[in-house]
Structure 1
Amino acid sequence: MKNASNNMLDAANTSFTVTAPAVTGMSVTPASFTSAGGNATVAVTGSNLLGQTVSIFLDGAEAATANVSSPSRASGTIVFPPNTTTSDQTHTITVYLNGAALSGESAAVTVSRVPGSYTSSSSRSAIPEPVIDNNGISLNPTTIDMTKPSVTLEVTPKDGVAYISIPATILTSIEGKNASFFIEIKTPYGSYQVPVNLASLIPGLEDLLDQNNLQAEDISFNIVLTNKSGDKNIQTALSNGLPNGKVMGAAVDFHIDIFNTKTGQQIGTADQFDKALTRIIPMPKDMSVIPVQWGAFRYNETAQKFEFVAAKKVEIDGVWCMMISSYSNSVYVVAQNAVSYTDVQKHWSQSFVELAAAKGLVEGVGGGLYNPDQSVTRAEFTAMLVRALGRGTTTSSIAAYDDVKQGVWYFDVVTKAKELGLLGLVKGSRFMPDQPLTREEMASMLAAALALEKLPLSKEFTNMDGYKDINSVDATYLDDVRTIVTLQIMTGTDEDTFSPKSETTRAQAAVVFIRTLQTLGLIDK
């Protein structure tokens, strides 16, 4: 055999030291609950845990997979169901390492009996009203003033983790009284605004309920905010993807698990939503000025990189905060991200290109260059537009067009764009991905994006008779061009020329993406 230096070794005289993973202890916080039950954090200590599977079992059934944060630490959250009986209930928590039970590593948690209940042959057990679990503290929902737009629940994190567990029945009850109400879950490092119609925004929830023989009233949502600022994977992704970036505030993981309220077992996770939800990351209290070039970014775990997400700055109680609007859960960061390119320093588009690049909307071509006057293909613009809208990628494996085959870099974004209704410009079954996008086609795609986002539009259009070539606009695109020009997302290539048949340039793409997002109110003007 050979060693790492490619030297031959005598197998008979060679020995190896293999350090096996081990669990040395565990703790559960809290160790007791009222009859309402609630969430507990299970902390596991050991050695060489990275890359291992640490499972947490509740009463002999797997309840959660622990998050291994370092070679010596792992933690997970499990839900203890309400106790509707007249006796205290004791639950046993055990830990499995790579599928093997660990002897001697167990803990007991007690859920108290129903308050005021007693044992009698003629008595009937009282069923407690559902409550909100605020990081181990029960909150009666009747104390919430539902006549207001929202309520803020402040949560004190434990080891960088904070959660709120809300039964779906509570959200449904509030929705019946105030459909626009939302619950803001606030921690020192981030906040999450959860609408009371959350269940209706989770794709596939009905199928998940059917698979588990449950009704909507049988589940709870466990909403967790974790400070990931010290996570090595996150730090590596930031260093690789934003080499000039300076993180402002914390890196926050926004996460929602779905539990069977009766058994306390997790049945799924809510990662995607049909509507953009608001997440807030506060800036350092001593930050009085927000830099011009900053962006908010969502961690793509599959690609292990940070990507653009829409965000605006707002001052709350004297502290600058970034309000992030996104359709998916993940780790989010806000960073100062100064970007410049040598070939746009005297270009008319400089401020737009640098701002778009700082936010992660566009990228350079390498060597410190942007190539602002280079044309943009249909595939390239589609990819940038889908990224800007933040609607995720497709789950379909069916080709949207004959010339968009699986395996090409633009397959997912083109398929997603067609699903979203952004590709009305395509005639027939061929997308022609490498064909330069014309300016009138760009107007068509931008107008489709505005319609997708349901932007209210005025019926009055700007008079475009000043453009001498306006009559050359394809009739199919004329209303779209009028809409985009009226909103000042696009202008002419000069005072009296619109150039509808000209190729879209990389500079023009950066400009329209910034203007479109500003028009939609998704980024600051």
Structure 2
Amino acid sequence: MNTRVIKKTSQALALFMFVSILLPVLALAAVHFENVVYNKYNRTVSGSVYSDTYNNVGDSVYLTTYASGSSILSATYATYNPSTSRYDFRLNWSKSVSSTTYDSVNLNVYFNSVFGATYSVNNSGKKSSPGGGGGGASTSTNGKIDATTGSVSAYELQRAFDVTNKVEITIKGEKLDLPLSALLDALKKYNNAQITVISDNGTYTLPLSVLNGDALAKSLSAEQKDVTVTVTIAKKAGEDVTKAVYALGAAPIAIAVDFNLTASAKGKTVSVDLGKTFVSRTLNVNKNVDSKKAAGVVYNETTKTLSFVPTTFETTDGKTVATLKRNSNSIYTVIESNKSFDDLASHWAQSDVELLANKLVVDGVTADEFQPDRSITRAEFAALVVRSLSLNAVTTNTYFTDVNSSAWYANTVASATYAGIINGYEDNTFRPDAEITREELAAMVVRAANYAGIETAVSSSKQAEVLSKFDDADSIVWAQAEVAAAINAGLVNGLTDSEIAPVSEATRAQAATMLKRFLTLADFID
């Protein structure tokens, strides 16, 4: 330890014993702490002290730092800030000084070698103080945090997660910074821990299970304790989104908002991969809506187009909120359409097809015709499934020998294959232009449901029970388990009470109806 520090400390203790007899009340009443923050993860404590009695006394103002009764730093000098008349300090210690990570530390301050006051502070928040306080947010005991400065400390998160696995954080601006290490600590406590960030632009609910701490730290070449996770809920400036809405013949009924999730450290930033987790975001809708005509959509900045996002609507006290669910971040808004097709009048699938058309899941063959009874190809149905799940495009196709990279369906087939929605044939072909059978249709819808987190599998005994109702069940070529699961989940019905027709070609109307059932089962539409 520095000789000067030891000498100062010894002098301080001796003088303290003497002076405290003479001026105990004066000293204690004259010294105050302000804005003290302790971070146990990077082993720092900072803040300011000042005295009503002792002013501008230079390096004779110093502090001792204790934890669990043991000294961490015996003396650290505070720097006088003439603009504030405060003594600013920032203490830090390495593992060589103390290998223990403390939940709280104590500070003793000395002015002119006279003991002034003690301050005890928890990790990034105060425990008790004769002077000022610290921190950038206020935490209630019910798991709700007001993050007025746009950041929340590890201590504040810890307090909130002490009482609930679902923490709500309200922000004033468009961004919120969170310490990754504290989020991972909460995930260790609750495997279903989540935070909901609430702003004037919308809300973002983040299941902490999507955070892969090791992968994020590695991608940033940093330690987990140094990584910051940032949630962004920002209005999208410009008219591009609005133009895309009107190009569809629709009307915008919510602002466009850019939802983003990133991690950063050492000046580097990476996007957080949500995997297969459908994260919920909400947008305020500016009118009461018919959920059959309204749709949540995502804006593609490259193509300047909009596509479907799984969305549900809820109206409370005259205010409608749209909840959009997707496993990727981007720019989102809500639109309203009213599409119809001349050849669907009185058709059994009219309501299902028009609903999905309004939500941009299905298209007409022309502006006025849907051709509901026409067969549908394997590539066409793959495209519908990809739209229903709002999957990002996979641009590299290395799966099938008969899928040309220049074909309109190349990226769609690659996306569906990557997600496990479709399989090829044994000869490594996909046969994109072949008409899809009802058996193949059922299998793809079941896989889509599984991707969305819906458990559809049935036991062998249940499978036999379900299929025994149909006289033609023996004609199922290979997808007995998938067909039984689809029937059991209510995704597929028989053509009659006793006929499933597994090898018959599926129609566009049947495909749309199965997708509507899937989206409803997954709570992706109302």
TM-score, normalised by the number of residues in structure 2: 0.69
Partner of 2:253: 248
Q: How does 1:178-189 map to 2 (within 5 A)?
A: 178-189=190-201
Once residues 411 and 163 of structure 1 are traced to their aligned partners in structure 2, the CA distance between those partners, rounded to angstroms, is 37
Q: CA deviation at 1:522?
A: 2.3
Paired letter, 2:223: Q
Partner of 2:225: 217
1:35–1:84 CA contact under 8 A, matched in 2 = no
2:443–2:483 CA contact under 8 A, matched in 1 = yes
Once residues 198 and 316 of structure 1 are traced to their aligned partners in structure 2, the CA distance between those partners, rounded to angstroms, is 30
2:220–2:264 CA contact under 8 A, matched in 1 = no
Q: How does 1:293-332 map to 2 (within 5 A)?
A: 293-315=293-315, 319-332=319-332
Partner of 1:472: 475
Once residues 212 and 488 of structure 1 are traced to their aligned partners in structure 2, the CA distance between those partners, rounded to angstroms, is 46
Q: How does 1:46-445 map to 2 (within 5 A)?
A: 119=77, 125-126=91-92, 129=123, 134=147, 136=149, 139=152, 140-157=156-173, 162-200=174-212, 206=215, 209-210=217-218, 212-228=220-236, 231-240=238-247, 242-243=248-249, 245-260=250-265, 263=266, 265-270=267-272, 272-284=274-286, 287=287, 290-315=290-315, 319-394=319-394, 397-424=396-423, 426-445=425-444
Q: CA deviation at 1:482?
A: 1.8
1:298–1:309 CA contact under 8 A, matched in 2 = yes
Q: Which runs of 5+ in 2 are unaligned?
A: 1-33, 49-62, 66-74, 80-88, 94-121, 125-134, 138-146
Q: CA deviation at 1:423?
A: 2.3
Q: CA deviation at 1:221?
A: 1.2
Q: Secondary structure at the match of 1:125?
A: strand
Q: CA deviation at 1:501?
A: 1.8
Alpha-carbon spacing, 1:129–1:234, altered in 2? closer, same or farther (3 Å): farther
Q: Secondary structure at the match of 1:259?
A: strand
Q: CA deviation at 1:188?
A: 2.4
Question: Which stretch of the first structure deviates more once superposed, 190-199 or 267-276?
Answer: 267-276
Q: CA deviation at 1:425?
A: 5.8
Once residues 137 and 519 of structure 1 are traced to their aligned partners in structure 2, the CA distance between those partners, rounded to angstroms, is 37
Q: CA deviation at 1:493?
A: 2.6
Paired letter, 1:175: L
Once residues 176 and 317 of structure 2 are traced to their aligned partners in structure 1, the CA distance between those partners, rounded to angstroms, is 23
What whole-Å deviation, never above 9, does each CA across 1:68-95 have from its counterpart, x for those lacking one?
xxxxxxxxxxxxxx9958799xxxxxxx
2:36–2:47 CA contact under 8 A, matched in 1 = no
What whole-Å deviation, never above 9, does each CA across 1:403-448 have from its counterpart, x for those lacking one?
1122222222212222222224633211111111111111121222
Paired letter, 2:171: V
Paired letter, 2:435: P
2:136–2:148 CA contact under 8 A, matched in 1 = no
What whole-Å deviation, never above 9, does each CA across 1:8-33 have from its counterpart, x for those lacking one?
xxxxxxxxxxxxxxxxxxxxxxxxx9
Q: Secondary structure at the match of 1:267?
A: strand
Question: Which stretch of the first structure deviates more once superposed, 250-259 or 448-457?
Answer: 448-457
Once residues 316 and 197 of structure 1 are traced to their aligned partners in structure 2, the CA distance between those partners, rounded to angstroms, is 30
More helix by share: 2
Q: Which runs of 5+ in 1 are unaligned?
A: 1-32, 38-81, 89-113
What whole-Å deviation, never above 9, does each CA across 1:313-350 have from its counterpart, x for those lacking one?
23567643222110111111122221111111121110
Once residues 355 and 507 of structure 2 are traced to their aligned partners in structure 1, the CA distance between those partners, rounded to angstroms, is 17
Q: CA deviation at 1:272?
A: 4.8
1:144–1:151 CA contact under 8 A, matched in 2 = yes
Once residues 497 and 214 of structure 1 are traced to their aligned partners in structure 2, the CA distance between those partners, rounded to angstroms, is 60
Alpha-carbon spacing, 1:210–1:480, altered in 2? closer, same or farther (3 Å): closer
Once residues 316 and 167 of structure 1 are traced to their aligned partners in structure 2, the CA distance between those partners, rounded to angstroms, is 34
1:273–1:327 CA contact under 8 A, matched in 2 = yes
Q: Secondary structure at the match of 2:211?
A: helix
Partner of 1:103: none
Once residues 171 and 246 of structure 1 are traced to their aligned partners in structure 2, the CA distance between those partners, rounded to angstroms, is 39
Q: Secondary structure at the match of 2:259?
A: strand
- Structure having the higher Rg: 2
Q: CA deviation at 1:36?
A: 7.2
* Number of matched pairs: 404
Once residues 319 and 365 of structure 2 are traced to their aligned partners in structure 1, the CA distance between those partners, rounded to angstroms, is 37
What whole-Å deviation, never above 9, does each CA across 1:95-129 have from its counterpart, x for those lacking one?
xxxxxxxxxxxxxxxxxxx9x996269x9814894
Alpha-carbon spacing, 1:212–1:434, altered in 2? closer, same or farther (3 Å): same
Q: CA deviation at 1:141?
A: 2.7
Q: Secondary structure at the match of 1:153?
A: strand
What whole-Å deviation, never above 9, does each CA across 1:346-383 have from its counterpart, x for those lacking one?
21110010011111111112232111111111111111
Paired letter, 1:213: S
Once residues 36 and 219 of structure 2 are traced to their aligned partners in structure 1, the CA distance between those partners, rounded to angstroms, is 28
Alpha-carbon spacing, 1:483–1:375, altered in 2? closer, same or farther (3 Å): same
Partner of 1:490: 492
Q: CA deviation at 1:470?
A: 2.8
Q: Secondary structure at the match of 1:332?
A: strand
Alpha-carbon spacing, 1:467–1:171, altered in 2? closer, same or farther (3 Å): same
Once residues 218 and 153 of structure 1 are traced to their aligned partners in structure 2, the CA distance between those partners, rounded to angstroms, is 21
Paired letter, 1:393: A
Once residues 36 and 327 of structure 1 are traced to their aligned partners in structure 2, the CA distance between those partners, rounded to angstroms, is 36
Question: Which stretch of the first structure deviates more once superposed, 477-486 or 444-453?
Answer: 444-453
Give the share of equivalent positions with the same residue, in percent. Answer: 24
Paired letter, 1:193: T
Question: Which stretch of the first structure deviates more once superposed, 427-436 or 132-141?
Answer: 132-141
Alpha-carbon spacing, 1:310–1:87, altered in 2? closer, same or farther (3 Å): closer
Once residues 312 and 86 of structure 1 are traced to their aligned partners in structure 2, the CA distance between those partners, rounded to angstroms, is 47
CA RMSD in angstroms, aligned pairs only = 3.3
Q: Secondary structure at the match of 2:278?
A: strand
Q: Secondary structure at the match of 1:328?
A: coil
Once residues 247 and 517 of structure 1 are traced to their aligned partners in structure 2, the CA distance between those partners, rounded to angstroms, is 23
Once residues 284 and 369 of structure 2 are traced to their aligned partners in structure 1, the CA distance between those partners, rounded to angstroms, is 33
Paired letter, 2:256: A
